[in-house]
Structure 1
Amino acid sequence: MTEIRHIVFDIGKVLIHYDPHLVFSRFIPDETERNWFFENVCTHDWNVEQDRGRSWEDAEALAIKTHPGHEENIRNFRRYWHEMVPHAYEDSVALMKRLIDKGYDVTMLTNWAKDTFKEAQARFPFLAWPRGVTVSGEIGLIKPDREIYEVHARNFGLEPAASLFIDDSLKNVEAARAAGWQAVLFEGAAKLEEDLRGLGVRV
């Protein structure tokens, strides 16, 4: 296996906590009703299109047209987005910092809407520590599409075989491997450190 020289972090649920229930437990206290809302109105697939680059205005208009009785909560998704990302995972951030300090080439590759990522950058200064980031909403591609891995590698001059991708989504990890990268599934900072050591990474 090629020695790892480049380490690429996902961000959401790897470095920063994300949970829309934190907001909507206030607006829709009943868990069954709240789950229905996420499964039928502001769904995962609906939100992913913002990660791909669709504007929130267009997203809201589409959802409101389909579910007019839920207009207020549809708008609440973007309105209170900042409460869905309440804190960083300090142990993960510390591990990333150690890797940078040891001389590894660290970058980030994330599915994230363009405007909300700018908000995250303002709130979490550590997002500026790595050499750079590919944000899906800025380039119109999302994981697990193979092309986003190829674009990231090309833009940052990475050798895929010498690159390690870290993501909390198994399908994104598998897609990175299919693109010729090494990859590990994130299951907490302690497990990640163990995985890195097993791959010969100095931590």
Structure 2
Amino acid sequence: MAGAGPVEAVAFDYGGVLTTPVADSLARWRATFGIEAQSFTDCLRAWLGREAEQNSPVHELETGKLDAAGFEKALAARIRRTDGRHPEPAGMLAAMFAGLLPDQQMWDLTDELRARGIKVAILSNSWANTYPARLFDGRFEPVVISGEVGLRKPDPDIYRLLCTRLGLPPERVAFVDDARPNVEGARRTGLHGIFHRDAGTTRDALLSLLESGAAAGPTTSHPNQETRA
């Protein structure tokens, strides 16, 4: 657990936290393209589960060692459609995440935090995703993308890198993610880890943390505090 001290920054995962659930987008993709659910579940368990090898295609994709086309070919060879055939690999990643939509309540929460003088940041494991421009327009600082830094959650080094770029010790940083292993990794590294279920419970958890004596003081400043659409 993180130690006592004022929390001065909150870092957010992107997909499934600042957006609608990733599982919903994947379900839509499976239905649209006729992907056999069990083959995809088995593949994710082998490549992304707690027992996955460190050089699995997902790990290689998230750390930028495998490009999108290479991952799509590997995934297409591993899963099946309901007609028993392998899916077409080209464009698969874009289709998988096409159903992600912004969760406006979460974006509003980032504005609320900034108005309190709390820095907000992004820490995201990327699947060669295209991120919206407003992640990089001054609202979030820093933006740490796994494929750009060659590290992935829950590696403790990526949390340490986040804290270094924030200029804060881990106990002054909270981290929000919808994947329990990533929250646990943050906590082991000394950050305040918050498991995201929905905007309401995450807001309550963060405000409880800040108002329990861990809030940044009024002298904490943060540039670009205007709300953006």
- In structure 2, runs of 5+ residues without a counterpart are 49-56, 216-229
Partner in structure 1 of residue 74 of structure 2: 62
Match of 2:30 in 1: 24
Q: Distance in 1 between matches of 2:113 and 2:119?
A: 8
1:79-132 Cα offsets, whole Å, 9 max, x none, are: 5245132x111111101111112211111101113x42xx2224xx35531122
TM-score, structure 2 normalization? 0.73
Quote how far apart the aligned CAs of 1:42 are: 6.8
Structure 1 counterpart SS, 2:90 = helix
Q: Percent identity among equivalent residues?
A: 24
Secondary structure class of the residue paired with 2:140: coil
Residue 170 of structure 1 aligns with which residue?
180
1:136 to 115, 127, 146: 146
Q: Tell me how far 1:151 sits from its aligned partner.
A: 1.2
> In 2 relative to 1, CA 21–106 (structure 1 residues): closer, same or farther, beyond 3 Å?
same
Residue 24 of structure 1: how far off its partner (Å): 2.1
Q: Structure 2: how far apart are the matches of 1:107 and 1:182? A: 14
Residues 149 and 26 of structure 1: CA distance in aligned 2, closer, same or farther (over 3 Å): same
Q: What is the Cα-based RMSD across aligned positions, in Å?
A: 2.4
TM-score (norm 1): 0.82
Give the residue type in structure 1 aligned to 2:31: S
Whether the aligned pair in 2 keeps the contact of 1:100 and 1:130 (CA below 8 Å) is no
Do the aligned residues in 2 keep the contact of 1:6 with 1:106 (CA within 8 Å)? yes
Residue in structure 1 matching 2:18, options 9, 15, 19? 15
Tell me the equivalent position of 2:113. Answer: 99
Q: Could you say which residue in structure 2 is the equivalent of 1:75? A: 90
Cα distance in 2 between the residues matched to 1:193 and 1:167? 13
Post-superposition offset of 1:156: 2.5
Query: Which letter maps to 1:93?
Result: W
Q: Compared with structure 1, are the counterparts of its residues 81 and 27 closer, same or farther at alpha carbon in structure 2 (3 Å cutoff)?
A: closer
Unaligned runs of 5+ in 1: none
Encode CA deviations 1:136-190: one digit per residue, 9 max, x unaligned.
0111111111111011111221221111111111211111111111121112111
CA shift at 1:41, angstroms?
A: 5.1
Q: What amino acid maps onto 2:166 in structure 1? A: F
**What's the secondary structure of 1:60's corresponding residue?**
helix
Distance 1:67-1:96 versus aligned 2 partners, 3 A rule? closer
For 1:27 and 1:66, locate their aligned partners in 2 and report how far apart those are by CA, in whole Å.
15
